Amino acid sequence: AILGQSNIIGKDIIFFDTIESTNTYAMKLADTGCPEGTVIIADAQTGGKGRLGRKWLSPHGKNLYMSVVLKPAIPPKDASLLTLMSAVACASAIKQVSSLHVSIKWPNDIMTCNKKLGGILTEIKADMDRIFHAVIGIGININLDINDIPDEIRTTATSIKIEQDIAAFSRSIVTAEIIKELDRWYSIFLQNRRKAIIKEWLKLSSTIGRVVKVTVGANTFTGIAETIDEEGMLILRLSDNTTKKISAGDVTILR
Among 9, 51, 98, 214, binds ligand BT5 (CB under 6 A): 51
Closest distance to ligand BT5 from the beta carbon of 223 (Å): 20
Binding mask 167-206 for ligand BT5 (x = CB under 6 A): ----------------------------------------
Are β-strands 102-105 and 243-246 bridged in parallel, bridged antiparallel, or unpaired? unpaired
CA angle 248, 254, 255 (to 5 degrees): 125
User: Is 63 in contact with 44 (CB distance < 8 Å)?
Assistant: no
C-alpha–C-alpha distance, residues 77 and 112, integer Å: 29
Three-state SS at 105: strand
* Minimum CB–partner distance for residue 241 and ligand BT5 (Å): 30
Contact call for residue 141 and ligand BT5 (CB under 6 A): yes
Least Cβ distance, residue 139 to ligand BT5 (angstroms): 3
* H or E segment to which residue 160 belongs: helix 160-164
Q: Choose one: 43-51, 84-92, 206-214, 223-231; the region binding ligand BT5 (CB under 6 A).
A: 43-51
Nearest to 144 by CA among 60, 86, 87: 60
Identify which of residues 152 and 165 has a Cβ nearer to ligand BT5 in the complex: 152
How far the first Cα of the chain sits from its last, in Å, is 46
Interface residue list for ligand BT5 (CB under 6 A): 21-23, 45, 48-52, 54, 56-57, 65-67, 108, 116, 119-121, 137-139, 141, 153, 157
